[in-house]
Amino acid sequence: MYLNSLADAALDYALYVSKPILQFIAISIIAITASEFLFSSKFALRMLKPLTHILKVAKLPQKFATPMLLGILDSRAEHSTISSMVKEGLASNGEVVVYNLVSKPITSPKSILQYVAPVVFSFLGTFLGLIYIAFSLATTLIGFALGVALSHVLIKNSEPSSYAQLKNVAIGVMQYRSSVEIAKRGLGKALRIAKYVGIRFLIVLTILYILTQLGIFNYIKSALKLLPLPILQNPEAVAIAITYAISPSAGFALAGNTLGKGAATAKEVLTALFLGKILFGIVSEYPRHSFPFYASIYPIRLAAKLTATLLLYTVISSTIIILIINTTLL
């Protein structure tokens, strides 16, 4: 009897974790390999004309084209280049703050496709996953708008950029690779990420499974019923937001589980995920990850400004998305 119960529990656990992990690995390989093709050096050249307009609208000088093009491929190389510009007196703190926001639509989509999309599609499914990714990409446009608004306050003089100048910059900084090289690079990166994140994925799913079996989430939901939250009335959705604030991947896993049980609507789940994103940014992402990253490259004062600006961007952009979600029918 005991052995049968143990075998049933083991089978239930195996079914609980196997599907999302296998989906994650498959989607990671496809998304990361595809994004390596999409965001290659050829993509950078295709972005030259839009980049000219972006720098002009944001009142940023032509020299910011180099880090923006590098940012498509490697964020550390991007910010190391800007740091050198700051040390040499070629860029002001205001220009760096503005750049960090207006570059979002150029430098962020690749990381969203490579690191966020596989997790999202694994738990939310194709339709809702596409909606979440679309909203995530929309936040980068909000960041661009905030950067342009700040440019009128922080940047006094601007140096116009020309397409010819940017083409010379692109040729100087981009490394050209054949399709075979890009495919090998993408597949290798996909397998490394799938291995690293897959292990963490398994740990998160195991913890969620244990907590679910112990009924912990039922206690949390009962306690959350006492909290007056005008945005989220459903305690199931509140639990998703709080879980996301602790661990985004666990938040997506709980969201998928909640949707599967029909305990929350798509609108409530999306609202909870973007609310959790705000909370995660405040308590973890920016103070524990972004600030140390910037402080290792920039002067402390500029690192603090960049961190504060990005936190403000996350709060504003996610709030706008939440308002859009709750004023439209999904």
Going from N- to C-terminal start, the domains of the chain cover 215-330
Contact predicate 227/238, CB 8 Å: yes
What is the 8-class DSSP label of residue 231? S
pLDDT of residue 114: 79
Q: CA–CA separation, 272 vs 276, rounded Å?
A: 6
Q: Which band of pLDDT confidence, cut at 50, 70 and 90, is reported for residue 236?
A: confident
Share of the chain above pLDDT 70, in %: 67
Pick from 161-170, 214-223, 269-278 the range whose average pLDDT is largest.
Answer: 269-278
Q: Which band of pLDDT confidence, cut at 50, 70 and 90, is reported for residue 255?
A: very high
Residue pLDDT, tens place only, 275-295:
999 989 888 888 877 888 888
Q: Is the pLDDT of residue 58 over 70?
A: yes
pLDDT of residue 246: 84
Q: Which band of pLDDT confidence, cut at 50, 70 and 90, is reported for residue 301?
A: very high
Q: Which band of pLDDT confidence, cut at 50, 70 and 90, is reported for residue 260?
A: confident
Interaxial angle between packed helices 117-154 and 248-261, expressed in degrees from 0 to 180 and rounded to the nearest 10? 120
Pseudo-torsion of CA 302, 113, 62, 66, nearest 10°? Answer: 80
Q: CA–CA separation, 139 vs 104, rounded Å?
A: 9
pLDDT of residue 193: 63
CA distances 306 to 2, 156, 317, Å, are 57, 19, 16
CB within 8 Å of 263: residues ≥ 6 apart: 234, 236
Residue pLDDT, tens place only, 118-129:
889 888 988 999
Contact predicate 253/212, CB 8 Å: no
Residue pLDDT, tens place only, 31-47:
666 656 555 555 656 66
Share of the chain above pLDDT 90, in %: 25
Q: Is the pLDDT of residue 313 over 60?
A: yes
pLDDT of residue 60: 87
pLDDT of residue 66: 75
Q: Quick one: average pLDDT of 258-263?
A: 89
Q: Is the pLDDT of residue 249 over 90?
A: no
Contact predicate 158/109, CB 8 Å: no
pLDDT of residue 110: 82
pLDDT averaged over every residue in the chain: 78
pLDDT of residue 182: 63
pLDDT of residue 113: 84
Contact predicate 208/13, CB 8 Å: no
Q: CA–CA separation, 174 vs 167, rounded Å?
A: 11
Q: What angle do CA 40, 46, 47 make, to 5 degrees?
A: 90
Q: CA–CA separation, 34 vs 47, rounded Å?
A: 18
Kindly state the tokens that stand for 67: 């880090």
pLDDT of residue 87: 83
Q: Is the pLDDT of residue 248 over 60?
A: yes
Pick from 86-95, 132-141, 180-189, 274-283 the range whose average pLDDT is largest.
Answer: 132-141
Q: Which band of pLDDT confidence, cut at 50, 70 and 90, is reported for residue 200?
A: low
Q: Which residue has the higher pLDDT, 207 or 301?
A: 301
Q: Is the pLDDT of residue 320 over 90?
A: yes
CA atoms within 13 A on the CB side of 21: 18
Q: Is the pLDDT of residue 190 over 70?
A: no
Contacts 24+ apart (CB under 8 A), 76-84: 76/297, 78/107, 79/293, 79/294, 79/297, 79/298, 80/297, 82/298, 83/297, 83/298
pLDDT of residue 47: 65
Nearest to 99 by CA among 330, 306, 322: 306
Kindly state the tokens that stand for 87: 């040390």
Q: Which band of pLDDT confidence, cut at 50, 70 and 90, is reported for residue 271?
A: very high
